[in-house]
Each structure stands twice: as C-alpha cells, then as structure tokens.
Chains A and B, each alone.
Chain A
Amino acid sequence: MSAATEDAVTEAPAVEAVPKRAMTLGLGTSLAVLAALVIAPLFVKNFIIFQMTMLLIYALAVLALNILTGGSGQFSLGQSAFYAVGAYTSAILMEHVGMNYALTLPIAGIICFAFGFVFGQPALRLSGVYLALATFALAVAMPQLLKLGFFEHWTGGVQGLVVTKPDAPFGLKMSQDMWLYYFTLAISIGIYVASVNLLRSRSGRAFMAIRDNEIAASAMGVNVALYKTLAFGVSAGITGIAGGLGAIAVQFVAPDGYTITLAISLFLGMVVGGVGWLPGSIVGSAFIIFVPNIAESISKGLSGAVFGVLLFIVIFLVPHGARQVAIVAQQLIGKLRKG
C-alpha cells in the first residue's frame, strides 16, 4: 500500500482535532453537574433512580468509545461485544462462582482490556471505515457466540442468566436502587477523572498525535502500533466495566440484550454528545435512553421514524453535538458578563 492511498483511507473527517483542554468541563461546571447527580436521587422515585443508573452506565460505555474515536481516531462499531463480555463476566462470576459484585467489575475490566488489546492487533492493519466494518463483524458475531452450546453451561445459552441485585452494605438504610446508583456514580467519577488524566498524559498526547496524523506521529517517535492497540484495550476495558454494572442493574444477561443495535446506539450517543468531548458522553447517553421513549410517546407505530427525524434534526442543527451547544452557551455567558 502506498503512502498516498493509506492516507486517503485513514482520513476521518468526522473526527476533527480537539485540543485537549477543550475535552473537559471547567471546574465550576463539573462540580455543579456532580452536585446535581449526587442530590437528585433523594427526591425521585426508584424507577427514575434506575433510569439514572442506566444513564451513568451507558455514559461510561459512550465515554469508552469517545476515548477510542475522539482520542485515538479509531472507529468501532463493536462496543456491544465488549459490553457483553463485561456483562457476562460479572454475571458468571456472581452467579456461578458466588463472588462479590464489586470484585467482579475489575475482573470484567481486565478481561475486556485483554480482549480489546488482542482484537486491536489485527485491527492495526485496518483503519477508517474498514476498521469500523471489522468491529461491526465482532458485534454481529457476539450474540451467536454467547448462544453456543459449548459455553451454555456458563452462559445459560439463549435463556441467559438471572443476576441477584446487591443490597446496600454496612446496614445502610437505602433502597437497592439508590445504593446501586451511588455505587455506579462513584465508579463513573473515578473512570471519568482517570480518562481525563489519561488524555492529558503522555499516552493521551500519543493517542491524539496518531489521530491527527499517523505518519507524523510515528516520525516523532510514537509507537503507533502499541498506542493504537492500547487505546483499543482501554476502551474495551471501560466498556466491560460498564457492561458488568449494566448486568447488575438490569439483573439479567441474555444474548438478545447485546446485539448490534446496542453498538450503534453507543456510536450514536458519542456523535450526539460530541466526538472527543468527554462530558458529552452523559448527554449522548441521555439521548439514547430517553429519546426513544419520547419518540414512542409521540407515535407507537412510527416510533422508529420519529426517532429518525429527531436524530436528523439534532445532527442537522448541531453537527458537533452537545459540545457545540456547550461552546455557544459559554460564549453567551461570556458576553453577558462583559455587557
């Protein structure tokens, strides 16, 4: 492959260079969002708390994709596969091995990291749309692999596995839902802070150098192969933790829960939240959880079409997603202060 054609393939116009400081929120805004996330569950029903837990879980998965695509410029439509591996790891360890739910999460993360890292090796030869297709294949294959008779003893085959929901520890007087929410929130904050720091570190700069221009990056001494696979591994690991949390929150894993639709939803969440803008992950996650419900309330028979129209409007009006909205808002506030 000549350098010229390779360049044409790597080019990914959807991912524009995002300066690393623009990847996060200011301290004040972060604290305000955090406060809202901490206080809100005290005033709402358990069902809403459950939805907020799912919001955080999908936000983690979107964040993971954001590190991969926004950070290192690689596409993936296979996130649902990593999510499924994480979910099944947690579920199997909890139900068959009897392990504590909190301990299953790091294991899910490590297994998915390894899985992602290994998958990243052949993916090295591919880029752009070709990589997207290769990961797509992974997402399509995963539900069927989970159904295989060979694994059935562990995975429960098509019937799936039912997971027991944990109670609040230390005798805390808190509903299961609320405990799980705060548990998820703590993990999410940890992963978010770590991700921000990762992207600000030497490795993060290497990711972005690869994203912006692979040849220039390698000329500057960045080990392109290592960092590309590393990005895959980190992304898969975080997705796996999200999957594990998802299994605990939903209390059930089955192949039908992790189809290609999930992978596309996560991709959608990333685009709506703003590619490369980590705080946007939660906005994207809110979009993929709540907008289908809104679409359904508008028209049951045409919910898919309504969802499509809403998505189209969002992409048309704010092509850079929530990041664009945030920037405009910031400018407005700045003007108001001056005026």
Chain B
Amino acid sequence: MSATKRLAVLSAAFAVIAASSSGALAQKKYDTGASDTEIKIGNIMPYSGPASAYGVIGKTEAAYFNKINAEGGINGRKINFISYDDGYSPPKTVEQARKLVESDEVLLVFNPLGTPPNTAIQKYMNSKKVPQLFVATGATKWNDPKDFPWTMGWQPNYQSETQIYAKYILKNFPNAKIGVLYQNDDYGKDYLKGLKDGLGSKTSMIVLEESYEVSEPTIDSHIVKLKSTGADVFVNITTPKFAAQAIKKNAEIGWKPVHFLNNVSASVGAVMKPAGFENAQDIISSAYLKDPTDSQWKNDAGMKAWNEFLDKYYPEANRSDGGVMFGYTVAQGLVQVLKQCGDNLTRENVMKQAASIKDLQLGGLLPGVKVNTSATDFAPISQVQLMKFKGDTWELFGEIMSGDVGG
C-alpha cells in the first residue's frame, strides 16, 4: 500500500468515525418529562391568596404555550404546561414543587413566583437537579450559579435598579439631599440596599429613610414629613397605589424634588394617569419592558404581535396589567431555550442552553435591551434604560445601562 493510499484509507476511517460520533450527538436524549411528542413544564403561581393579582402571569404563559402548540410545538413537541396554586404560602410551594417533580415528573419548573416561595424550594430543586428556571422575583440572590447551578433568575433585580439611580444621582446631583420612601418588606428593603450600595461612601446624602406598611390606607403624612426635611431628591420605592398617591400629594403640597420612581410603579395606565399627567411631569424611572399603556408603542411591531396573540389566545386579558407583558416575554424566553436544546432534552442541557443565551431580543423588551447569560451570569435581563415622563408618555433617554449584581 502506497503512502498516499494509506493516508486516504486513514482519513476515510477518520471520516467514518467522525460521522458516527456526530450521529451519536444527534441522537435524541431525554430526561424525565420529555419525549418525542411532549415536554412537561411545571409552574407554581399564587392564583389565590394575598398575591393573587400575579396569577395573571401564569394565565398568560398558559395562553402563550397554547399558541406555540397550535403552531406545531417546539421541534415537533407539544408543551404540556402544568401550573399549580400555592397561595403565596412557602409550605404549600414545597408541596406543589414536589408534586410537579415527583408525581407529574416535569422536565423543569418554570417561573415560580415570589421571593419566599422560591427560597423555600431552591434547596430542594438543586438537590434533585431539576431546573428552577427564570424565577419571577426581583430579589438579587438568584444570580448564584456557583452555589445553586439549577436556579436562574429572569428580570433585572431590584438592587441593580436603585444602583443605577444612585449612579445617576452622584453624577448629576452630587450635592443632593435624598429623601427615600419605601415599603416595609423584602421588596422595599432590597431596593433601599441597592441605593445605599450605589451611593457607597456617600450614604450620608440620604437625609431621611421613611417606611410605610402595605396596610396603611394613605401615605400622605409620610410625604409631608419628607418635604419637611428639605430633601431635593426623592426616591420613591412604592407599589402602584401608593406611587399614585405620592405623586398627587407632592403636587398638592408643592414639593418639587427630582423624583425617582421605581420601575414596579412605572405604568402609565395604573399610576401616571390616576395621579394626573400634569403632576407626573419629569419623573425619572427606568424600564426594560414596553409599557402597553404607553402610546409611543402603538405602531411597534413587537407590540402588534403581542396584541394579536392576546386577541386570539387570551382575549379576556387586561392589557394594562403589567403581568401580561411579563408573562408573555418570559414564556418567549423559555421557548427560545427549548428550541436551542434541539433533541437533547436533558435537564443538564436545559441549564446549559439557558446559560448560553446571546443577545436575544424579544418583542416585549425595550429596543436595545437584550437577554444575555453565561455560565457565570445567571441574570438574564440586567439592562434597563432611564426614562423621563413627558406629556402622557415616557421618554427614554441616555444609553442602556447595566447593573449586574451577584447573589
């Protein structure tokens, strides 16, 4: 055998080996919960109880998966979406998560809602090595791939948002006196911590930290107290009802600080309009999702697709409810991950694919905000854009800002 011939045989042999090994790669691989025809996805939502308003997120997700199934599924597989109610009670969440994993045998648990419920199941999910994917909470601790490789967050976290405000304040108002109003719970405290961390050694700029309880009927007295400190920057960490009250009261008593409003309450329909547009001018906030009640997106392609989806699959949805857009976007995120998985639907591959999303753009996200993850970055959306309220709509300004905070 001549040398060239030997080489040819050898390379042919290599080619065969390569072909067979790539054939092995293309072989379908499944974990519990996935098959040729179906992918079982578990979900836990507070359909009842104190946080039941968020149940609309689960309903939107179910509607979106119906749409995906009607259009042929993902790589030919239908999504079987099993969503249970935990009433926002952590012991019940544990029961439901175990039911999903051990009895329904789902491939992964997707977008369970709330910080306490997710904390309750985090250890369990990680010991079972079942993905706890794209949790619906803004707490900062979900970005912790080292200790919890099976848990991943989704939305920008609260701390990074106020850190961005802090950066902006330090740059533009270095001599400001800051008054903070925050809700006395995990959400409010997380935001406050971000603000303080962002101010760093300048925390003394905060002249008053005023807290209120969700159960208070009105926060008027807190606003009066804040005004009396002479603060000229107001960081408003409140949920929609209280945010509207604060904006109104500010105008009423003639207090005109530079007003930062947390993204939780940046809805035009639920906050700005009831507070009165004339009172809300020049308020600064940040966002990563498009606000459906904001008229500037009327002719936006992503918004049109969203409206078409709702018309057909979820006509009774309240379109000014922020949960609808949230559920829609995160469901799209999951569909992207499952598409990337191809025929390798193991739990390990699901986490691997979820951790390798590159510059994904979704219709509901603001232009320029992209989903990015890596093996060390389990915070899919960490970009937000500052915006200022002008007329009856938010005007985006500045560049997209990033505020990754690890858990």
Which residues of A are at the interface with B, using a C-beta cutoff of 8 A?
45-48, 50-51, 54, 147, 157-160, 162, 246, 250-257, 259, 261-262, 292, 296, 300-301, 303-304
Contact of B91 with A by CB under 8 A: yes
Q: Are B49 and A261 in contact (CB under 8 A)?
A: yes
- State A67–B87 Cα separation when bound (angstroms): 29
Which B residues are CB-close (under 8 A) to A292? 85
- B316 CB to closest chain A CB (Å) equals 10
Known: A47-B98, A159-B116. A256 touches B103 (CB 8 A): no
Question: Are B89 and A296 in touch, CB under 8 angstroms?
Answer: no
Do A254 and B119 contact each other (CB < 8 Å), given the known contacts A147-B185, A157-B186? yes
| CB of B158 within 8 Å of the partner chain | no
Q: Which of A252, A256, A300 contacts B85 (CB 8 A)?
A: A300
Taken together as a complex, chains A and B put the C-alpha atoms of A50 and B89 apart, in Å, by 17
4 smallest CB-CB distances across A and B, nearest first, come from A47-B102, A158-B186, A252-B120, A254-B116
Are B185 and A50 touching (Cβ within 8 A)?
Answer: no
Chain A residues contacting B83 (CB-CB under 8 Å) are 300
User: Would you give the shortest CB distance from A240 to chain B, in whole angstroms?
Assistant: 16
Q: Could you show 10 A-B contacts with beta carbons less than 8 Å apart?
A: A46-B98, A50-B95, A147-B185, A158-B115, A160-B119, A251-B94, A255-B116, A256-B88, A256-B90, A303-B48
Q: B89 and A257: CB pair below 8 A? A: yes
Partner of B90, one of A48, A147, A250, A261: A250
| Centre residue among A54, A255, A300 by max chain B CB count within 10 A | A300
Knowing A50-B95, A296-B84, A303-B85 touch, does A162 contact B90 (C-beta < 8 A)? no
Q: Assess A251 versus B120: contact at CB under 8 Å? Given A50-B98, A158-B186.
A: yes
Distance, CA A45 to CA B99, complexed state (A)? 10
Q: Are A51 and B95 in contact (CB under 8 A)?
A: yes
A134 to B87, CA, bound (A): 25
With a CB–CB cut-off of 8 A, which chain B residues contact A250? 90-91, 94, 120
Interface residues of B (CB under 8 A from A): 47-50, 83-85, 87-91, 94-95, 98-99, 101-103, 115-117, 119-120, 122-124, 184-186, 189
Q: In the bound complex, how far is the Cα of B116 from the Cα of A54, in angstroms?
A: 19
**Closest-CB distance, A79 to chain B (whole angstroms):** 15
A45 near B186 with CB under 8 A, answer no
* Chain A, Cβ-Cβ closest to B87: A261
B90 touches A160 (CB 8 A): yes
Q: Given A158-B189, A296-B84, are A301 and B47 neighbors across the interface (CB < 8 Å)?
A: yes
Does A251 lie within 8 Å of B124, measured CB to CB? Answer: yes
Name the A residues within 8 Å of B87 (CB-CB): 261
How close is B53's CB to chain A, nearest CB, in angstroms?
13
Most buried by A among B85, B99, B103: B85
CA distance A188 to B88 in the complex (A): 28
In the complex, the number of residue pairs spanning A and B with C-beta atoms less than 8 Å apart equals 84
CA A158 – CA B120 in complex, angstroms? Answer: 12
State the CA gap A304–B48 with chains docked (Å): 7
- State how many angstroms separate the Cβ of B376 from the closest Cβ of chain A: 23
A160 to B116, CA, bound (A): 7
B303 CB to nearest chain A CB (Å) = 27
- Which residues of A sit under 8 angstroms from B85, Cβ to Cβ? 292, 296, 300, 303
B185 and chain A: residue at smallest CB distance: A158
Nearest B residue to A58, CB-CB: B91
- Chain B contacts for A46, CB-based, 8 A: 98, 102
Among the interface residues B83, B87, B90, B102, which one has the most CB atoms of the partner chain A within 10 A? B90
Report the minimum CB–CB distance from B315 to chain A (whole Å): 15
CA distance in complex: A242, B131 (Å): 31
Given that A250-B94, A256-B90 are contacting pairs, would A47 and B103 also be in contact in the complex, using a CB cutoff of 8 Å? yes
Q: Give the residues in chain A near B94, CB-CB below 8 Å.
A: 250-252
What separation, in Å, do the CA atoms of A147 and B98 have in the docked complex? 27
Chain A positions within 8 Å of B119 at CB level: 159-160, 162, 252, 254
CB distance from A287 to the nearest CB of B (A): 15
Contact A159 B186 (CB under 8 A): yes
B90 and A257 form a contact (CB under 8 A): yes
CA distance A45 to B48 in the complex (A): 28
Task: Report the Cα distance A303→B123, complex, angstroms.
Answer: 29
Contact of A162 among B84, B89, B123, B185 (CB under 8 A): B123
Chain A residues within 8 Å of B103, by CB: 45, 47-48
User: CB distance B47 to A300 under 8 Å?
Assistant: yes
Known contacts A159-B115, A261-B49, A303-B47; A256 and B123 CB within 8 A of each other = no
Q: Which residues from A are CB-within-8-Å of B124?
A: 251
Minimum C-beta distance from A15 to chain B (A): 29
CB pair A246–B91 under 8 Å, yes or no, is yes
Given contacts A45-B103, A259-B89, A303-B48, 17 further A-B contacts (CB under 8 A): A45-B102, A47-B99, A50-B98, A51-B95, A147-B184, A147-B185, A157-B189, A158-B116, A159-B115, A250-B120, A251-B124, A253-B90, A254-B119, A255-B116, A292-B85, A296-B84, A300-B85
A300 partner residues in chain B, CB cutoff 8 A: 47, 83, 85
Residue in A closest to B48 when the chains form the complex, CB atoms: A304
Which residues of A are found within 8 Å of B91, using beta-carbon distances? Answer: 54, 246, 250, 252, 257
Which has the most chain B C-beta neighbours within 10 Å: A51, A158, A162, A262?
A158
In the complex, what residues of B have CB within 8 A of residue A261's CB? 49, 87, 89
In the complex, what residues of B have CB within 8 A of residue A304's CB? 48
Chain A residues lying within 8 Å of B116, measured Cβ to Cβ, are 158-160, 254-257
Q: How far is the CB of A156 from chain B (nearest CB, A)?
A: 9
Chain B residues whose CB sits within 8 angstroms of the CB of A255 once the complex forms:
116
A253 to B47, CA, bound (A): 21
Given A160-B116, A261-B49, is A254 in contact with B98 using a C-beta cutoff of 8 Å?
A: no
Q: What are the residues of chain A within 8 A of B101 when measuring CB–CB?
A: 47
Name the distance in Å between B28's Cβ and chain A's nearest Cβ. 27
Q: What chain B residues lie within 8 Å of A159 (beta carbons)?
A: 115-116, 119, 186
